[in-house]
């Protein structure tokens, strides 16, 4: 099977029906759902799930170490979007996510500046609002 479609990213339209992986770390399961403003409840335990990038591929539910790795990455704001390393010539190179749990901490450390925690507006605020006031519209 060729994977030519990987390079031509489909544009995301408003109201599109693309499904995104929503994970429940309690059940260690992934459910593919259309994007939603609010976290969707897990169909099995009804805890809010976390929506990840479509690149995410779910580990098997038995694979606890892989789920720990995913949990670790998500906790640090890595939702399986692409991260980039800047090469010496200034080019940006897409970096694969760590395969093993043991590799996750160094990955998080190196790419922390690209974490969702450092991106604005995507994730919920972390309760620390002393840096800037939200009333500058
Ligand atoms: Zn669940």
Domain residue limits, the chain: 18-118
Distance in Å, CA 110 to ligand 1 centroid: 31
* C-alpha–C-alpha distance, residues 52 and 135, integer Å: 29
Contact 31, 49 (CB under 8 A): yes
Distance in Å, CA 21 to ligand 1 centroid: 13
- What pLDDT is recorded for position 16? 57
Confidence of residue 44 (pLDDT cuts 50, 70, 90): very high
pTM: 0.73
Distance in Å, CA 32 to ligand 1 centroid: 13
Distance in Å, CA 60 to ligand 1 centroid: 14
- What pLDDT is recorded for position 62? 96
Which tens digits make up the pLDDT trace of 65-124?
999 999 999 999 999 999 999 999 999 999 999 999 999 999 999 999 999 987 654 444
Distance in Å, CA 26 to ligand 1 centroid: 5
């Amino acid at each position: 099977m060729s994977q030519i479609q990987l390079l031509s990213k489909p544009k995301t339209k408003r109201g599109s029906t693309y499904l995104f992986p929503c994970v429940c770390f309690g059940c260690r399961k992934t459910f593919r759902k259309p994007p939603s403003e609010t976290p969707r409840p897990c169909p099995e335990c009804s805890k809010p799930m976390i929506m990840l990038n479509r690149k995410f591929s779910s580990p098997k539910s038995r694979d606890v170490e892989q789920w720990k790795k995913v949990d670790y990455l998500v906790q640090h704001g890595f939702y399986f979007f692409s991260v980039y390393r800047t090469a010496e010539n200034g080019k940006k190179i897409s970096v694969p996510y760590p395969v093993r749990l043991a590799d996750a901490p160094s990955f998080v450390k190196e790419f922390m500046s690209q974490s969702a925690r450092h991106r604005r507006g995507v994730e919920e605020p972390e309760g620390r609002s002393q840096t800037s006031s939200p009333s500058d519209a």
